[in-house]
Amino acid sequence: MNLDTLDRDIDTERLVLRPLSEADLDDLFAVHGDDDVTHFLPSRTWTSRDDALAWLARHHAMHDERRVRRWVLVDRTDGRRIGDCMLFNFEAPAARAEIGFVLGRADWGRSLMREAAGALIATAFEALALRRIEAFADPQNGASDRLLRALGFVHEGTFRQRVVVKGEVRDSNAYGLLRDEWERLSLAR
Ligand SMILES: CC(C)(COP(=O)(O)OP(=O)(O)OC[C@H]1O[C@@H](n2cnc3c(N)ncnc32)[C@H](O)[C@@H]1OP(=O)(O)O)[C@@H](O)C(=O)NCCC(=O)NCCS
């Protein structure tokens, strides 16, 4: 079992989650080139095409080492790539992995990432036989906290001084979602 089983599109009502490619970079500039969007992310804000290409090269290296899979969120109505989400830190023996997500500011507040992350979580639990999915978010990141809780994640604690974001040492809230919790929630939806 490895991440190759996830090399495919994931369909939702309003979106197609499509494996990342270089053709996505122009649209993704509106996402990763916006300081408001990257505020809580360890990665730097893109200011040039070279930044985007360097980001893509890092992604490809991790992809080829089977450390990450990343999808762009394609809006079905107009084909715009409006953000991306990823699955990484997959540990097959422990049956766990971590998710991350980012959405362009123009599309915040439409529950689009809830739709995308929900589909990614369902696919990952199924395809990789995961027992647990993890996520980390800055304690000040209210939107991420709301989203993760809405997806069923439980806040399990705070890791102190875990990351450096834009040169500042920051704590991280740790969240976990267990497969049986997800299945119960899915049945109730
Ligand atoms: C986190 C993010 C993906 C959420 O995406 P989204 O599609 O806008 O999420 P939703 O529309 O489902 O909204 C999430 C919830 O947060 C709430 N929210 C939005 N901004 C908020 C804020 N600043 N503080 C508190 N809550 C906020 C919304 O009202 C919504 O709550 P509700 O479901 O109870 O109504 C998006 O804000 C984003 O990309 N942020 C920048 C990148 C980032 O921080 N990524 C996560 C790193 S861990």
Question: So where are the chain's domains?
Answer: 3-188
Q: What is the pLDDT of residue 2?
A: 86
pLDDT confidence of residue 110: 97
pLDDT band for position 115 (cuts 50, 70, 90): very high
**Residue among 127, 181, 128 nearest 152 (CA):** 181
CA of 43 to the centre of ligand 1 (A): 18
- The pLDDT of residue 41 is above 90: yes
The answer on pLDDT for 112 being more than 80 is yes
Residue 44 has pLDDT above 80, yes or no: yes
For the segment 128-148, the average pLDDT, to the nearest whole number, is 98
How far is C-alpha 173 from the chain's CA centre? 15
Extract the tokens encoding 167: 């040169």
Amino acid 147: pLDDT: 98
Angle at the Cα of 34 from the Cα atoms of 138 and 105, rounded to 5 degrees: 75
How far is 47 from 136, CA to CA, in rounded Å? 26
Pocket of ligand 1 (CB under 6 A): 37, 40, 101-103, 108-114, 137, 141-144, 146-147, 150
Task: For residue 103, report the distance from its CA to the centre of ligand 1, in Å.
Answer: 9
The answer on pLDDT for 171 being more than 90 is: yes
Q: Is the pLDDT of residue 136 over 80?
A: yes
- The pLDDT mean for the chain works out to 97
Residue 73 and residue 188: Cα distance in Å, rounded? 26
Residue 27 is predicted with a pLDDT of 98
Give me the pLDDT at residue 189, please: 79
Give the helix/strand (H/E) hosting 165.
strand 154-165
Pocket test for ligand 1, best of 45, 112, 146 (most atoms within 8 A of CB): 146
CATH for 3-188? 3.40.630.30
For residue 1, pLDDT over 80 is answered with: no
- Tokens standing for residue 73: 């969120």
**Substitution candidate for ligand 1 out of 39, 108, 170, 177 with most atoms within 8 A of CB:** 108
DSSP calls for 150-161? HHT-EEEEEEEE
Q: What is the mean pLDDT of residues 138-153?
A: 98
Q: Is the per-residue pLDDT at 142 higher than 90?
A: yes
